[in-house]
Structure 1
Amino acid sequence: MPGLLLPLTRAVTYTRWLHMLMGAIVPFVCAMVYPGLYKPSPGDWLLTAVLPVPLVLAAAMVPVVRRAEGLQARLMLFPGPHARVRDDEDPGVSTVASASWSDRVRTGAWLLLRMETGLVLTLVTNELLTLALSLAGAAAGEPGVADPLLRVPGTGWAYLLLVPMPVLVLLLVVTGAGALMAKAARALLGPSVKERLSELEKRTERLLERNHIARELHDTLGHALTTAVVQAGAARAAGDPDFTDRALETIEETGRAALEDLDRVLLVLRETGRPAGARPALDEASRLLDSARSSGARVDAEVTGALEHLPGPVSREAYRMLQEALTNVLRHAGPVPIGVRIAVEAARLRLEVRNPLPAQPPATGPGGGRGLRGIRERAALLGGEARAGQDDGQWLLRVDLPLR
């Protein structure tokens, strides 16, 4: 029994009750015009339920009506800040205007259901409350206080014990009807197929953006940390104050650039609607080459074509690919000779990074292979491809990106 009465203590039960009673406003307003509300007969009540149907269906054709009904249903039919229970689950009710005839038909069905349910519940509410008043009057010796359909014979104090019964029955009816209306709202006001596809596309875009940010952080911080580690190791091994000064200067510059990139990425995370600062492009590749040279590697670079005229997305992603390629060389092979070739052709950009194979294969940690996988993913998103493997006793990374 306590579990049965628990819904009666929740505010959402009474907001649902109010929501259903509001559905009777239209038929009662129409009934004031015809057939009238003075001593209505069963036939009059039938007309009251039928006459507003064309008006309600016409209203359902207006796209914004679906949005208004969805907002009302979300606010009044489902637990929220006004309820005593916490429910973080999405109600599954759309709050956008009708975009198709299917939406309009479902909105029409919802309006009809809400109107008829509101009319019936209003009559039931009136009858049960009238019966409770009649029982109270009979207990007080005045049986004519109210005139319910179910007559109360005689008078007597014993009727006082029966006064709560109609109220309790009414509350239980309201609870059950409210739960059914919430289910009907999900079915008739729920997102259409088009809305579900749109939400799925937005979710996919958010996941892609999250993966993109993860790659940005991996490339930027990985390059900075690898350069710092190689520079520090080389300076300690050299034991030359001048070389140590140059190494510390390179570490400082690389760290400062990494902090700038980190601030830009964090800005995107904090304020999604605000554009971030400009990302480095391939025409700034000299910064990466100088950083690799300062780490002790001998870098032979060959650049053909105008890098500044590359399409923005291609230029920015190619910069990150070159950065990750140089980081991989320093991490796995150390300060070895590196050959870099960047060629801008008529319809594509070719990027090649070549280095000697290390004497011993590097130990692969938990993140091993993510750099090459990230390069391949970037190339695939631009419609190109990236290949890596041994070539004449050296390790070769080749990236081909279309310019259109």
Structure 2
Amino acid sequence: MRRLFGARARLRWIHLILGGALSMPYFLLGSVLVGPFIGNRNVFTSASLQFAAFGVALPIAALTAFFPLVRPLSVGAVRALCGVPRGQLADGPARSGQARMRTAGWYTLHLGVGGIISGMTLAVPPFAGTLVILPLFTSLRGVPLGLPEVLNHAWALALAPLAGIAMLVALAACAALAGELLARCAPVLLGPTPADRLAAAERRAADLAVRNRLARELHDSVGHALSAVTLQAGAARRVLDSDVEFVREALTAIEETTRRTVGELDAVLGLLRQGEDAHGDLPGPTLDVLDDLLARSGVKVAYVQDGDPAARAPEPVSREAYRIVQEGLSNALRHGGAAPVSLRIALCGEELEIVMENPLSVRAPVVRPGGGRGLPGIAERATLLGGHAEAGAQGDVWRLTARLPVGNAGGER
């Protein structure tokens, strides 16, 4: 009984009746088209003519299902009323030809089966109800209700209520079977096509790339600021009582570093709040403000440039180069302390070359739980631009080298 009259069966029955309601405009159009072929007779005078009009209506319904928005509307109804798991149905309009063909097949099936069940739902309950109450109201026997002549017999009249109940149960069984049929066909006809799965995979890959890019921005910006602030604060603490001027300069550097980092952090978090709009270019500092970074990095940097890279490098390359230098300085601060750093940035043909060196520290390097993401992040930035980066000990120095393609670097940005 639960399969016939349970909550799921009732919802699927409503879904079928919805299909019948949607089929009515097409049925009326089909009756108009069938009219000239039957001598303009009224199709409602014959059941065969009604089925003919219904048969003409279904291909018309299939044609209208090629509109892309038919699929999301159908999917919404199936999810709400048929109990089909969400992951088995496609999201969004039907874009490809295969998806539209499947949607047209579903729409035709829904309207066809729903129209039949709706017709039965309208016709069977009144007739079955009449049979149930017929033995109690003898006056109904004389009313022209189209009842069979056999009901004039006493034995048939006694069995009429049972026949009425059986008809209602049969109607519920037909509706349950039809609802089960549509629920089984929905994942096949409204499920994701190979093109839908590919598009979903591309969206997931794009989202993952954006998250990784934002993570790199936060790591490089905040990580460098914390390293610089830690070094400046430690140096200021050691000379707090003996060199007030140095302490004042250190506190000024800490203030400016944190203010700049908070601005960069706000920009990245703003992109996170924008959701899908975060797929555009990330705002951020470029080589134009590299001198300011070097001046307040917390370590002495001997900087040499060749070819005016700040003015001639394209903006995306300039932005990534700034982050690579920033992360290189963070590593130098973290592992080398206050040891001086040499930095060279040069335009060599169609490449921007970054070379950073600092002496290896005699003390044990700072190891963070789980390892750091600085050097892999530098490699990822270079790879995304079509370049490459490498870092490692060479003799008694640590060297970071990155090469980024810039195309025709002699042109305007």
The equivalent position to 2:119 in structure 1, one of 103, 117, 123, is 123
The amino acid of 2:131's aligned partner reads: L
1:225: how far off? 0.9
Distance 2:108 2:80 in 1: 24
Distance 2:104 2:150 in 1: 39
Moved more, 181-190 or 251-260: 181-190
**Identity fraction in percent:** 31
Counterparts of 1:72-87 in structure 2 under 5 Å?
72-79=73-80
Is this contact kept in 2: 1:133–1:145, CA < 8 A? Answer: no
The alignment partner of 1:359 has SS state of coil
The equivalent position to 1:96 in structure 2, one of 72, 83, 93, is 93
1:267: how far off? 0.8
Distance 2:226 2:329 in 1: 12
1:243: how far off? 1.3
Distance 2:235 2:352 in 1: 34
Give the corresponding residue for 2:52: 47
Is this contact kept in 2: 1:348–1:403, CA < 8 A? Answer: yes
Distance 1:235 1:111 in 2: 75
Alignment of 1:345 onto 2:343: no
Is this contact kept in 2: 1:390–1:396, CA < 8 A? Answer: yes
**Any gaps of 5 or more consecutive residues in structure 2?**
408-413
The amino acid of 2:203's aligned partner reads: K
**Any gaps of 5 or more consecutive residues in structure 1?**
none
Is this contact kept in 1: 2:16–2:179, CA < 8 A? Answer: yes
Is this contact kept in 2: 1:17–1:178, CA < 8 A? Answer: no
Is this contact kept in 1: 2:17–2:115, CA < 8 A? Answer: no
The alignment partner of 1:271 has SS state of helix
Provide, for residues 146-167 of structure 1, a one-character-per-residue CA deviation record: whole Å limited to 9, x for no partner. 5478976657688557755544
Give the corresponding residue for 1:214: 215
Using the size of structure 1 for normalisation, the TM-score is 0.84
The alignment partner of 1:124 has SS state of helix
Distance 1:277 1:219 in 2: 14
Distance 1:227 1:360 in 2: 19
Alignment of 1:258 onto 2:233: no
The equivalent position to 2:287 in structure 1, one of 261, 278, 282, is 282
Q: Which structure shows the higher helix fraction?
A: 2
Distance 1:93 1:154 in 2: 57
Is this contact kept in 2: 1:343–1:351, CA < 8 A? Answer: yes
Indicate the structure whose relative CO is greater, using CA pairs within 8 Å and at least 6 residues apart.
Answer: 2
Is this contact kept in 1: 2:300–2:338, CA < 8 A? Answer: yes
The equivalent position to 1:324 in structure 2, one of 320, 324, 327, is 327
1:289: how far off? 0.8
Aligned pair count reads: 391
The alignment partner of 1:78 has SS state of helix
Distance 1:352 1:345 in 2: 12
Alignment of 1:37 onto 2:37: no
Distance 1:148 1:200 in 2: 61
Is this contact kept in 2: 1:379–1:399, CA < 8 A? Answer: yes
Provide, for residues 152-186 of structure 1, a one-character-per-residue CA deviation record: whole Å limited to 9, x for no partner. 66576885577555445434433442343244333
Is this contact kept in 2: 1:352–1:399, CA < 8 A? Answer: yes
Provide, for residues 300-321 of structure 1, a one-character-per-residue CA deviation record: whole Å limited to 9, x for no partner. 1111122122111111111111
Counterparts of 1:139-288 in structure 2 under 5 Å?
139=135, 140-141=137-138, 142-143=140-141, 146-147=145-146, 166-239=167-240, 240-272=243-275, 273=277, 278-288=283-293
